Amino acid sequence: MKLHTEHHGSGPETVALVHGLGNDATVWGDLVELAAATGRYTVVTVDLRGHGRSDRARTYALADFADDLVETLPTELHGVVSHSLGGAVVARAVDRLSPARAVYLDPGFRLALPDTGLGGLLVRRARWSIPLFAAARGRGVRTPALSPEAKALERASQERWDRGMALAVLQDVATHPYRPTRQRAESTVILSGDAPYVVPDPLPEQLLAAGWHVVREDSLGHAMALEDPRLTWRLVEAAL
């Protein structure tokens, strides 16, 4: 599926931004402005299938999302920056896209849900169990410290997505966790204080062992680009 994209800036290095579940490209607005202001980047923002101005679909598997990116984005980008679900998708598309660098913000690599015993069976077989387990294990996730403008931007983006995909996508992420490998792209994962719910231990150490760069910024929450775009951009730019 060809996805809706927008181009910003006219710098010599092209970077794509891939959002998370329930959002769309509009949540990158502040980062886009900061990147464009450097004069270094052309930024491509994309709406994943079922989000924003991209078409709705019959299926929402991780493989479908990844294939869409490969069909839509140019290859050999300077960088791809992704958040949450976008990270799980980019990790499955990155070798085909062949960017020089890949930056993952709290990527949805492995949800903090049971994967063995009765709990693991329920996650695999009964989608209704996922929000129950997520609520129990996610009590430590902080309420994002968003400005009124950022809250309104996030709410607006959440009104433009196909909510029917939510449990299927979460189940796919939970049952197909990302296995750390050395990527062709120079890869950096930036972890917020909420990262244990999407990149639980020992995954950060496994990523390090696979040649990734791991950056921790506990002062940020999961919605880092909305919460503190200037700090988030500094971290991203250092990885680009």
* Contacts with 144 (C-beta within 8 Å, 6 or more apart), sequence order: 221, 222, 223, 226, 227
For residue 119, what pLDDT is reported? Answer: 46
Please check whether residue 102 is in contact with residue 188, taking contact to mean a CB–CB distance below 8 angstroms.
yes
For residue 171, what pLDDT is reported? Answer: 86
How many helices and strands (H and E) does the chain possess?
A: 10, 7
For residue 129, what pLDDT is reported? Answer: 44
**Amino acid identity for residue 159 in this structure:** E
For residue 23, what pLDDT is reported? Answer: 96
Q: How far apart are CA 71 and CA 1, in angstroms?
A: 7
**Is CATH 3.50.50.60 correct for 5-239?**
no
What pLDDT digit, counting tens, does each position of 105-144 carry? 999 998 765 565 554 444 454 454 445 445 545 545 566 6
Task: Return the structure tokens found at 201.
Answer: 């231990």
φ, ψ (nearest 5 deg) of residue 156: -65, -40
- Note the residue count of the chain: 240
pLDDT along the chain (240 residues), means of 10: 96 97 96 96 98 97 97 96 97 97 95 56 46 49 78 94 90 89 95 89 95 96 95 98
For residue 209, what pLDDT is reported? Answer: 96
For residue 111, what pLDDT is reported? Answer: 77
| Domain ranges for the chain | 5-239
Q: How far apart are CA 195 and CA 201, in angstroms?
A: 10
For residue 155, what pLDDT is reported? Answer: 94
For residue 124, what pLDDT is reported? Answer: 53
